[in-house]
Amino acid sequence: MPILQQTASKNLGRSFFRTSKQAQTTRSLFTQSAPVKRTPIRTGLYTTAFVLSAGVFAVYYFDARSALHRYVLTPALRNVLDAETGHKVAVKALRAGIAPKDPVQDDARLKCKLWGEDISNPVGLAAGFDKDGEAIDGLFDLGFSWVEIGSVTPKPQPGNPRPRMFRLEEDDAVINRYGFPSQGHSSVLSRVRSRIPLFGTPPERAALREGAMLAVNLGKNKESPAESVDDFVAGVRTFGPYADVLVVNVSSPNTPGLRGLQNKELLESLLENVTKARDNLEPSVLTAKRPRIVLKIAPDLEESQLIEMADVIRRSKIDGVIVSNTTIQRPKTLRSANKSEIGGLSGPPIKPFSLKAVQILRSQLPSSIPLIGCGGIVSGRDALDYARAGASMVQVYTGFGYDGVGACRRIKDQLAEELEKEGKTWDQIVNESVDKLSWVEPPPPEKVEPTVSQLVAEAEELKAMLEKLGESLEKLGNLLTYTVASAFSVIMIMETTPTRPSRVPKPSTPSIKSSASTSSISSVTPRNVPSISSRISVRHGISEENLVLLSANPPETKLTNLSYNPLKKDERGLPSIIDKETGVQVHRHSDLWFDDGSVICRAENTLFCVHMSQLARHSLVFHDMVMLSHPETSRLDSSMVIPEGTNTFSRRVPVVYLFDVAEDVGNLLTALYDGPNFGNNDEDDFRAVSGILRLSSKYLIDSLRAKALAHLSLAWPSDLKTWDMREDISRGYEIEGTPGYTHRYPHPFNVISLAREVNAPSLLPSAFYDLSRYSFSQIFEPTEDEPLYRSPPLPPLLALDTRRLALGREASQNAITTLIQSMGSGQYIRHAQQHPTSSHSRKASSAGICVSAAACRKDFTELVDLATQHYLFDRERGCYDPLYVAEELGQLKSAEFSECKACAKSLEAWAAREREKIWKMIPFWFRLESGGDISPTLH
């Protein structure tokens, strides 16, 4: 290669590399600085800081006492998740072992004894949180000395439909209607058994830890017979070897018929069977003992019922009582919008009811039967109140859900502080209260040796009694002689009389009998117990003024006189049913007769065989009838034996008499089963909806009442927008020439009467206004071709409502006159001040300014004259309807003189404002009470 070429190549190469290096080091907008080299020391420091931070956070997180759980994590879960989902997440976290623990040893002052066994502290967890035994050890780790799982039913069941758990955050309370959702005995038993260690020293208790107890709450399946005790006996046999305590739950308000087991006879049978099953168990291979049996009761029992129950408990072999379960009562102090939900209420509002029940039972039970208090315990002071009332332990539930995992530790710390102030231990306070308040068996009467004078007096008294007995026997002998002689003469006459052919005996048919213990629905006699409306008023804080429909014709169960007629079949091919009192045939409803129904409702001459659970789930009245037990002296049950399909077996079903129209009852039950299916608000639809609204108000079915009112409000609204839609529909029928369009909506008389009956004042303004659009002759003396004519004539308005109508019509006429005068004042003309001109020629307006005010004022004067003649003198259509007049006046300018857009739009805006004012004034015109539609349960 030539030298010149080699030199050029070398210079070119150096130039290239130099250029590349410069290009690499040149900084631009997107150039990043070279990363700083990390030394091993720096990396180690970062790693150490991360590990220490994570360790500190872990220690803080896994400590149940940390404020993180109470003020951050628990409120966050409540705000993000619904009540039931949050509940399930908490159980899963405890099961997985990622939940916090209580690292502090219990204070010595908190130690207590139960059935002679040491317990580390008196705070336990009530049933309902861990329903299927998934997080037993996680709950013990939070510091509870008693963990109660369940309720557990023999067969798996899903419980009630969701939503079934509701937070009342303003009251720190919860309402649930779970209905015993359970995975069944087999699944829960496998979890309990999986905890048992395979090696090591056998535990002394099923809790597998010192100073604690494991309890299993036993429930019954929903489809089991109401009075059956087999589910509880099966639970004792299944879980007896693996539990320290078995809890017999007869107090859940969410299982139809369950609370009926609290009645005296049924409770005696139940306790006898479960204790017998327990005594027949072999001592547990785990604890070498048999489990304790504890009864869980409701706080809704009357004092007389608690006394009867205590008498049964004293004579039984059970070991204790938990007082109490959730309540169906609704205190007046509740503020949350969810307070009207059906289900059991728990939390601080229940504390007075539970505490009172503890005090009553403590005074009726011996000290050998401990009580466990449950209900509204959220602090150490609450626990101490139960101890002073005679409870040996306490249980928490709702407070645990609101305060989080540290609730147990906080209650124990507060309790220790309270005990330190008093200088006593928990055991000392409990023993003092139990010794002072417990029932003591009265001593037997002393035997007194009779004296000689007493013996002589008794002998003379006995002699006089024998003499009277002799005289009576002599008279009786004479009577018997006469009777035998008469009977002999009758027999002789019959033997000499020709005999008639004997009748073929009738086949035996099911009969309707009175039963004192087969039904969980009870009827209360007025002599002993208040009426059902009075009980609901007391239990749920509802004024009796809002229970007028119920108190006028309450449902009741009474001795029935129905019988089968096997010689006559109904349309279903079943024997017809006859009312023996009247001789009238009673019909089964074609769609609402379920072969598996658990209650028969009779309305007029129609029978409905439906499900108790369906009625109790929706209606507060039927819920109380089904769920609440009543004193035996006040029970008068009726029942009916019905065949089980095509089988030869039969079962007894209670009969409830509903003193309502059968058609309305059928519509109500159909709406409860299938949901409401309303129509187009015509008269036929109104007849069905009004019946549903009337009965849903009577039986306190708030959800259905709200839906019926919402449907009626489409035709009788409380806002102007919906009223305009109603009128547009009516005018559409009129324009189309639809026959009978004037009768599309029901007569306002019927709407006003219904609104008064069911306390729905929101329907009244539109009903009165609709009525006021007619003349008095059209209202009170309509002819056949007029819209308000009905045959037969409707009942007249009340005198006070007639006066309201007259005052309202006068006010509406004045409103029309005022409207026309206001339009003629010209105050709505948009003057063109920034565009002075002397020309009155009509120009197209722009920017919303009138360019010819004088001409527009003249136009308004002509329109006022036209409206005055049309509405005030000629009395044309709409002359009694100020809303219609205002709407028409607002359209006059744009319809006739559209050149001035500014004044036309101004007139339309004025008319819209006037219509809003008129609508707001309607209740004042007719002197109607203000306020919306309030369900009786919300009063």
Distance of CA 492 to the CA centre of its chain: 72
Residue length of the chain = 939
Which helix (H) or strand (E) is 642 found in, with range?
strand 639-643
* 358 phi-psi bin (left φ>0, alpha ψ -120 to 50, beta other): alpha
Answer for the pair 191, 131: CB distance below 8 angstroms, yes or no: no
Helix locations, 833-875, DSSP H: 853-867
Residue 790 DSSP SS3: coil
Q: Where are the alpha helices (DSSP H) in 62-182?
A: 67-68, 74-80, 83-96, 136-141
Angle, CA 842 vertex, CA 841 and CA 846 arms, to 5°: 125
The helices-and-strands tally (H runs, E runs) of the chain is 31, 20
Place of tokens 């966050």: 76
- Helices 380-389, 426-437: axis angle to 10 degrees equals 30
Q: Which of 66, 252, 340, 346 is catalytic?
A: 252
Nearest C-alpha neighbor of 746 from the set 780, 714, 776:
714
| Partners of 593 in beta bridges | 609
Q: Is 100 left (phi over 0), alpha (psi -120 to 50) or beta?
A: beta
Instruction: Evaluate whether 78 touches 167 at the Cβ level (below 8 Å).
Output: yes
Which residue stretches of 423-557 are H helix?
Answer: 426-437, 452-495, 532-540, 548-552
Contact between 347 and 171 (Cβ < 8 Å): yes
Q: How far is CA 263 from CA 18, 36, 305, 620, in A?
A: 104, 82, 8, 21
Residue 449 to residues 446, 453, 463: CA-CA distances in angstroms?
10, 12, 22
Q: Alpha-carbon distance 699 to 708, whole Å? A: 14
Q: Which of 123, 147, 290 is nearest to 209 (CA)?
A: 147
Torsion from C-alpha of 929, 930, 933, 936, nearest 10 degrees: -70
Q: How far is CA 715 from CA 98, 231, 240, 546, 912, in A?
A: 57, 52, 62, 25, 21
Q: How far apart are CA 748 and CA 870, in angstroms?
A: 27
CB-CB contact of 656 with 639 (8 Å): no
Give the strand order in the sheet containing 165-168.
165-168, 173-176, 344-346
d(CA 75, CA 68): 10
Which residues does residue 346 pair with via DSSP β-bridges, in sequence order?
174
Catalytic, 252? Answer: yes
Helix (H, G, I), strand (E, B) or coil at 201: coil
- Which two structure tokens, joined as six digits, stand for 790? 């009905």
Instruction: Point out the residues that are catalytic.
Output: 252
